[in-house]
Amino acid sequence: MSSLNWTTDLLNQLVSENITAEQISLPSTTLWQIESIHWQHYAELAIQQNVRWVAGWAEHVQDRFFINACFEKQGIYVLLRTIVNVAKPELPSQATVYPAANRSERHTQDMFGINFIGHPDNRRWTRHKAWAKHNYPLRKDFPLQGEPEAITPPDIDYPFVKAYGAGVYEIPVGPVHAGIIEPGHFRFQAVGELILNLEERLGYVHKGIEKIAEGRTPESLARLAGRISGDTTVGHCWAACRAMEQAAGVEIPPRAALIRGILAERERVANHLGDMGGICNDVAFVFAQMQFTRLRELWLRTNATIFGHRLLMDRIVPGGVVCDLSEASCALIKEDIILLRKELSEIMPAIDLNSSLEDRLYTAGYLSPEIASAFGTLGYVGLASGQDKDVRRDAPYPPYDQATFKVALEDQGDIASRFWVRYKQINAALKLIAQFIERLVAGDILAEWQTPPPGSESLSMIEGWRGEITAYIRFDADNKIARFYPRDPSILNWPALEKLTLNNIVPDFPVCNKSLNGSYSGNDL
């Protein structure tokens, strides 16, 4: 019983087990509504078919909670929904089946007070000490400005996993680090230099994005989405805008789609250049870091010249883009590509032939394909461990629906693989930019906005530079946002770091972490 579309198979199975799934069609996805008692069983059926868990979030609507989970296989996305009553907010956990759902369910538990029965780890996650235990910020009765105390008390009683035994010691690292990086806490248990266990504690940059999104206009939401994670401003902004456009039935002009493609690929190139330098810097190969930093800087300066912003923030707006490309700008972009290719062709062989660098990057930080698949890792982390996923190819959206490119894939699963996947992605991105410029048609760059009907909802998927970004939007009346949930790829990649550092030595952790480079801000929301 296998047909081309996995959803038919799964539906048949659900019907044979007398589970009713109400089907509602949404733009680019289907919504299946099931009863809450079947929540976990659905996951069990889905995992048998190798369906991937994508995202999970909830919503407070009057006296009910909508609980959503998104699943994907072969580029076909299904949004699963169940409804529970506010008076008795509980349902079986999917995290027992999908480890990827673990932190997401803990987030929902902290933000809504929804109890996931049988959850393997129901410690608090996003809640630190900024709000009290029985306050749930995403419920509608929680004030928008929060309940700020003068000083948030230190979070000193979080029950970390303990390790006991002769010679076992703990290393707490962060949330404040010696370098200028985002805050996050890492708790190591080690014997000598060998890492026995690593536990992440994130949430230090929780900004309440989901709460402050409520009641915004589309323009204002796009600006907010561009600030979820500063390095992915194009990716998140595009995902949010695409979700809103789908919900409102707005079609963006072809020229705007091509410019969005150029923006996204330029963001990808800049970040990968920075990361490749960062990986080299973490093993004290400063020469390469300086070169990559220089190249990234030149690249960003071109961004500033052409698009008016180094990181391309707020260039994408609902209905299109705000920056048009002149003939001269196109020529400049082409020149930039030639220059970058030439520089990379000199630097990359020097890196490839350096045996001391090779010694550090190969076999270190190994992530097996099985674990990568179990956690649903995305982007370069997944691709380096043989997870062949790329939204641009699997569920193409304009302008990628007409583009030809190869998805970079490696199978060694080590730091070197994640390094070289980034390099391959840079090459693919440069080709894509060239293609988009060739295809650039004359025309408008901004479509007129239409107020969507109240309650219209949509889910969009965009391949950001870290991997698949998912954004969910539901509109209220009067063009206002009722619910916005952005899922950064980091949410699925962070747990993989806990696994890939096992059996490495403590001083190799920083480079392992850099090779994954999750966003703290994108994770904490």
Using the rule CB under 8 A, is 507 a contact of other proteins? yes
Q: Residues near 352 by Cβ (< 8 Å), separated by ≥ 6?
A: none
Nearer to other proteins, 160 or 405 (CB): 160
Tokens representing 120?
A: 């393997």
Nearest to 387 by CA among 460, 464, 468, 459: 468
> Which residues 280-299 are close enough to bind other proteins by CB under 8 A?
280, 282-287, 290-291, 294
Nearest to 267 by CA among 464, 90, 113: 464
Residue selected from 18, 153, 179, 326 as contacting other proteins according to rule CB under 8 A = 179
> Which residues 181-220 are close enough to bind other proteins by CB under 8 A?
193
Name the one range near other proteins by CB under 8 A: 67-75, 131-139, 177-185, 432-440.
177-185
Nearer to other proteins, 174 or 467 (CB): 174
User: Where do the DSSP E strands lie in 193-279?
Assistant: 194-201
d(CA 220, CA 224): 6
Residue selected from 208, 510, 518, 522 as contacting other proteins according to rule CB under 8 A = 510
Q: How far is the CB of 345 from other proteins (least distance, A)?
A: 17
d(CA 208, CA 144): 9
Q: How far is CA 221 from CA 309, 314, 441, 461, 470, in A?
A: 19, 11, 28, 17, 15
Instruction: Estimate the crossing angle of helix 254-282 against helix 286-307, to 10 degrees.
Output: 160
> Which residues 321-360 are close enough to bind other proteins by CB under 8 A?
354, 356-357, 359-360
Nearest to 189 by CA among 198, 181, 180: 198
d(CA 519, CA 510): 15
Tokens representing 10?
A: 């799964």
Nearest to 276 by CA among 493, 427, 422, 467: 422
Tokens 């810097």 map to which residue? 281
Name the one range near other proteins by CB under 8 A: 24-32, 168-176, 307-315, 476-484.
168-176
User: Would you say 72 and 51 are in contact if contact means Cβ atoms under 8 Å apart?
Assistant: yes
Q: How far is the CB of 193 from other proteins (least distance, A)?
A: 6
Nearer to other proteins, 177 or 310 (CB): 177
Using the rule CB under 8 A, is 178 a contact of other proteins? yes
Q: How far is the CB of 355 from other proteins (least distance, A)?
A: 9
Tokens 């693919």 map to which residue? 428
d(CA 498, CA 297): 32
Using the rule CB under 8 A, is 169 a contact of other proteins? yes
Nearer to other proteins, 105 or 275 (CB): 275
* 408, burial (CB in 10 Å: exposed 0-12, middle 13-18, buried 19+): buried
Q: How far is the CB of 98 from other proteins (least distance, A)?
A: 31
Nearer to other proteins, 347 or 447 (CB): 347
Name the one range near other proteins by CB under 8 A: 89-97, 239-247, 439-447, 506-514.
506-514
| # of chain residues touching other proteins (CB under 8 A) | 32
Q: How far is the CB of 361 from other proteins (least distance, A)?
A: 9
For residues 490, 491, 492 and 498, what is the CA-based torsion angle, rounded to 10 degrees?
A: 80
Nearer to other proteins, 26 or 168 (CB): 168
Nearer to other proteins, 335 or 358 (CB): 358
> Which residues 3-42 are close enough to bind other proteins by CB under 8 A?
none
Nearer to other proteins, 172 or 249 (CB): 172
Using the rule CB under 8 A, is 509 a contact of other proteins? yes
Residue selected from 171, 191, 331, 338 as contacting other proteins according to rule CB under 8 A = 171
Tokens 């595009």 map to which residue? 238
Tokens 């009290």 map to which residue? 132
Q: Which residues of the shown chain bind other proteins in the complex (CB under 8 A)?
A: 169-173, 177-180, 193, 280, 282-287, 290-291, 294, 354, 356-357, 359-360, 364, 505-510
